[in-house]
Amino acid sequence: MFALDIAAHTGPWRSRHPAEKAMLSLGLLACAVALPPWPGALFSGAAAAVLLVGPARVSPAVVLRAARVPLLFVATSTVPLLVTMHAPARLTVNAEGVVPAAQTAGRSVAALICLLLFSATTPLSDVLPRLHRLGVPPAVTEVAALTYRMLFLLVDSVRAVREAQAARLGFRTWRTAYRSLAGQAGAIFVRAFSRARRLEEGLALRGYTGSLAVQVEARRVSAPFVAATVGLLVLIVAVSVVVGSQW
C-alpha cells in the first residue's frame, strides 16, 4: 500500500465519519483559497499542518514524501512569474513578480496541506460507498474503486518484474537497462490486460447488473468535532480579517 493509505487506515481518525474530516479539510481549503494569502492562507495551512502531525498523528516523513512532487510543481510554476523574456531571447529577473509568486506559492502550499489532511486520514474505501447519498451515480464510484484497486496490483506487478530483471543482471549497463525497461513495459501491459479481462469475466459470472452491493460501517457524526471545526474556521476568518485590515 501507499504511505498515505497506510496512514489513513492506521491513524487515530480512522473511526471518525468521513463527513467530519471532509468538513474540516475542505473548510480549511476554502479559507486558503478564498481568504487573502496573508494571513488567511498562512493560517489555514498552518492549522492543517498542526492537525496533520498532531491529533491525526501522521508522520512528517510521510507528509513530505507525499508532498514532494506537488511542491516541485508549485516551485516550477512560480518561475515564470519571477522572470521576463526580452528580445532577443534574454531573460531578466522581474522584481514586480516576487510578490505574486510568493502569494501563489503560499496559497498553493496551504491548499496542498489541506488536501493531505483529508487524504492521509480518510481511506478511499470509506468515501466512495457514501457518495451514493450525495447523488453520485454508482457507475462512477465503482469505476473509481476498481481503478484504485488496480493501482495496487499494477505496482505489485512492476515490483515483481523489476526484481526478476535485476536478479538476471538486467540493469548492469545502460544498454541492458533500456532493454529491461522495454520488456518491463510490455510485461506489465500484458498483466494489466489479463487482470482486467479476468475481473470482467468474474463480474459477469456473478451476475453483475451495474452496481455492487457494499456494506458500509455505520458511524455517527461527532457533534463536538463539528463544533470545534466550525469554531476553528470562524477563528481563522476573523483573525484574517482583523490582521488583513491592519496591513
Q: Which residue has 494571513 as its cell numbers?
A: 39
* Beta strand spans in 87-229 (E): 90-93
> How far is residue 51's CA from residue 53's CA, in Å, rounded to a whole number?
6
pTM: 0.80
CA 201 and chain centroid, separation: 32
Q: What are phi and psi of 88, to 5 degrees?
A: -95, 110
| C-alpha cell at position 144 | 473509481
pLDDT for 235: 92
Nearest to 150 by CA among 104, 192, 107, 102: 192
On whether the CB atoms of residues 52 and 113 are closer than 8 A, the answer is yes
Per-residue pLDDT of the chain (247 residues; tens, 9 = 90+): 578 888 888 888 888 888 899 999 999 999 999 888 888 889 999 999 999 998 989 988 888 888 888 999 998 888 888 887 776 767 777 777 788 888 888 899 999 999 999 999 988 888 887 887 777 887 788 788 778 877 877 888 888 888 888 888 878 888 888 888 888 888 888 888 888 788 778 877 877 766 666 667 778 888 999 999 999 999 999 988 888 777 6
- One-letter amino acid for residue 19 of the chain: A
pLDDT for 198: 84
